[in-house]
Amino acid sequence: MKKYEYKITGLDCAMCAKRIEDYLSTRKEVFSVNLNFTMQSLQLEADEGYTKEMLFKEIQKIEPGVSIEEVQTEEQEKEEEKTLSFDYLRILIGLVLFLISLVVPHFLKPFFVVASYIVLVLKTAKRAYYNLKSKTLNENSLIIISAVGAFLIGKMSEGFMVLFLYEIGKILEDKAIEKSRKSIADLMDLQVPIATMKKGNSYIEIAPSEVKVGSTILVKKGEKIPLDGILLDTATEIDAKSLTGESAYQTKEKGNLLLSGTINMKDAIHIKTTKKYEDSTASRILNLVENASSQKAKAETFVSKGARIYTPVVLVLAILVGVFLPVFTSSTYQNSIYHALLFLVVACPCSIAISVPLAYFTGIGVLSKNGVLVKGSAYLDKLRMMKKIVFDKTGTLTTGEFHVTKTITEGHLTEDEVLFYVALGEAFSTHPLAKAIIKANQKKLPLKKVSQLKEEAGSGISYVYNDEKIKIGNHKFVKGSKVLDGTVLYLSIDGKYQGAIVLEDTVKKDAKKTISTLKNKKIATLMFTGDKKEVADKIGQELGIDTIEAELLPQEKYTALEKILEEDVITTFVGDGINDSPVLRRSDIGISMGGVGSSAAIEASDVVLMEDAPSKILKAIDTSSFVHHIIVENLVFSLGIKIGTLICSLFNFVTMWQAVFADVGVTILTILNTLRILREKETRKPRK
């Protein structure tokens, strides 16, 4: 099995893309397929011998006018621009020919009208032919029938107008969609074509995909970092706006992790790479965004499926109008045929078929710009419907960075001496608390004098120093210690309790406001943590969380979540994306907090927050609500205009001019309305 990716051009609509996707999924050589109409990308997993030529032949059976390319070159882009220029010229020639028909002698008029029809109809007729050849009816066929029918019943001007405005509408529609494509592509402009790698005492420029893990690369001031790695130099400042959406620079010290796609803003730096190109942050983000259309929302799926039967039904209804209207009314057959043609134009499904998937895709793109990765429209849609949200504590609501708040002494030791003994043992530990204790200690640690070091998982550390037997750990591990509230490490020397270190985790600066806003949105807040009950209660009460579950093992978190899910309400779990993987997968929406550098985070969750900011969840919910609001506006407006126009046509209040507005005009307006999502300063409607 092999993964393939192509750029696909010549698609007229989302329905055409859906037909290709459905057909390819039935081929035995193809294991999975995802065709993104908005991004013009085709991704599939198929047999290794499945060539581009074989794929092209299969696609031609469904959409003969479609072409595929592995990579779009500058020459191909120029060719597309030439095609667009030709379309402008063709429409202009058609208009000139028709205007000439208005002033020439009467016997010449039909020749110029027919010529204008032919010039305008060429592209639409070609699309309609290919569709009919693949046994498919769509709006191209409806427009051809309407225009030719109008010509045959003597409404030549109105038939021309149908073709002219439809062609203008298609160009404006393509430009509007292209604007969305380019805007979103700009948001994800993370890749770097060249990496400067150190080789001996010199540097060479190579493709990032050829750089091996453990290599040293040079990144100059103002350059994007091509691969994830560790900073080898003293310090620098990083512009991470492309990942997090935040404009403030981040200060990075020696040994800190730097992510690909971010920009070095100070002097040239050296980085030791920690991941291959395909596993780097920028590459994984791009892959995630490109595949975001694979998980479709119910509304998007409904539109795609309904479109396949919609056009044939419309055509049958138009025929019924043309045949039976004179039977039940005083209308003539010429008039009834005209009404049938109006019906075909008005009922074209373009506005719905395009605006719904475009709205979801644009919403996902906007969130990507703001540091929130959503794996598909299904999850984007669910965000606005959540009723309960469960948070992990450490690293999610708190920073996970502890600091010493109190040193307690018992016996003859001073506070500094208690801290020294604890730090001496913790210097050999990988526990998160160790870093805080070592940082608080002011004395030099004689590590070579430590012997018989032994760590007991979940309990503590024992070691020998100057012939003294030292034990550091929890209350059960250190005998004779007094039980204290909070996160505490107890110390004993030669079996006698000598003191303790009290540490506290820091609540994230935007956590309290986030919880408060969620509660205002009528979303119940919960916290699951493996920490002590008194510590969890303190944090939970400080933040105002509704329900607190403490001292939970990973499997107990899973069981507790299962009970909530039985209530059949949309429930979200927010965790660090690594040790919370089971619950992230089990929840309706799994959100990884600050997990952009972790492959486990991206794999386990449905939404990834690219920085440690709980408030990003609010941005995701508000964008979800706004996208839904736009979709509802588009559907109500589109269906309202179409239904109203159809009703008015029954009473002879509508001509082809109004009918084309109900199709092409409404389509353009719904697309322009959808593009409001791209406006960063758009005031999101709060979810009630």
What are the catalytic residues?
392
H/E segment holding residue 195: strand 195-199
CB burial of residue 559 (10 Å; 0-12, 13-18, 19+): exposed
DSSP, residue by residue, 59-77: HHHH-TT-EEESS--HHHH
305-308: long-range contacts (C-beta < 8 A, 24 or more apart)? 305/18, 307/14, 307/15, 307/18, 307/349, 307/353, 308/15, 308/18, 308/19
Torsion, Cα of 128, 134, 139, 145 (10° steps): 50
| Environment class of 617 (CB within 10 Å of its CB; exposed 0-12, middle 13-18, buried 19+) | buried
Pairing relationship of beta strands 235-239 and 263-264 according to DSSP bridges: antiparallel
Pairing of strands 607-609, 589-593: parallel
Strand order in the sheet with 30-36: 30-36, 41-46, 2-9, 67-69
Structure tokens at 20: 């290709």
In one letter, which amino acid is 1? Answer: M
613, exposed or middle or buried, with CB in 10 Å at 0-12, 13-18, 19+? buried
Task: Report d(CA 89, CA 391) in Å as an integer.
Answer: 59
Nearest to 354 by CA among 511, 507, 178: 178
Alpha-carbon distance of 49 to 54, in angstroms, equals: 9
SS (H, E, C) 388-418: EEEEECECCCEEEEEEEEEEEECCCCCHHHH
Strands (E), 61-191: 67-69
Strand 388-392 vs strand 571-575: parallel, antiparallel, or unpaired?
Answer: parallel
54 is written with which tokens?
A: 């074989």
Give the DSSP letter of residue 508.
Answer: P
From CA 512, how far away is CA 449, in angstroms rounded? 46
Amino acid letter, 215: S
